[in-house]
A and B are shown apart, each in its own frame.
Chain A
Amino acid sequence: MKIFVMCQTIRRMVFNLRPSGLSMSLTMAVLACPEITLQNLDALLAAKKDPVAVKFFASWCGSCKDDLESMRGKSSDPHVILLSAFDDESAAVATLNHFGVDQACFNGDAIARKLGVRHLPRSFVSKDGHLVSGDLK
């Protein structure tokens, strides 16, 4: 019984923690991360001028935190496309909203597999209509 009460107390403490400086009344900027095929991505990249950064992330990816923090509070960058990979859509959306990221987001599972993405975070840059490994300079 004592162990149960102690664990319930710990659970309440965990759920009540808030990242410092983040208000719970934050506007939900991202509502969904719809699926996108490689062909659609190519079309999207063609519509935007080079260079465009395609960044893969996931809600479980601790190493993605720095990238997401760097996008906090900034207005949507047309040269950045966020793709969630190997992740649940609702979890990916919740993560972006948690970090206050206002950026277009797509479900990039199929694209990640085709590009051989094994580790996250992973970035590609469009060049002459193709994706190459690397970050925006």
Chain B
Amino acid sequence: MAVMPGIKASSCFFLLRSMFITAVITPLIISCGKPSAAERTSSNAVEHTGAWLTTNGSYELDLAWKSGPQTGMNNVARLTVILRGDATFPLQKITVTPWMTVHGHGSGNVQPVVENDDGGDATLDPAVGVYRVSNIFFVMSGPWDLKIELSNENENGTVTDSVTVPVEVPGA
């Protein structure tokens, strides 16, 4: 066998064998332990971190404004839901309720609309859900809370978790 001068054949074989072991075994070692929801299954998984964690720790949420926040009804936001713990998709229900705590009122009978957001930003990561929340009515400027409630079905029935996201609606 022609090898590099000065190196014995047995040493080459040992080196090649070590490299093979490293290349094969190491990923298996690294993948041991419980994977996070963001890392499992897909090789296209992107690291997602939510700014808001629900009360029972089932979800992390991100809220990004596409329009607003401003006084009036034309407020649209993108809600990113990241599964944590034992939660799974699809979610049974997501409700978003604006509330102006210091004034003690919400937005009357005007209910925000939550729908799947398939356009453009859809992620292939099944642990992440992206939703479009529209028809959010801020009656006036000032400090508001968005109460976000997520419901899911499991073997124990319907489980609900929630979080309150503060929103400062600027004046003119």
A and B touch in the complex (CB under 8 A): no
The interface of chain A, by Cβ under 8 A from chain B, is none
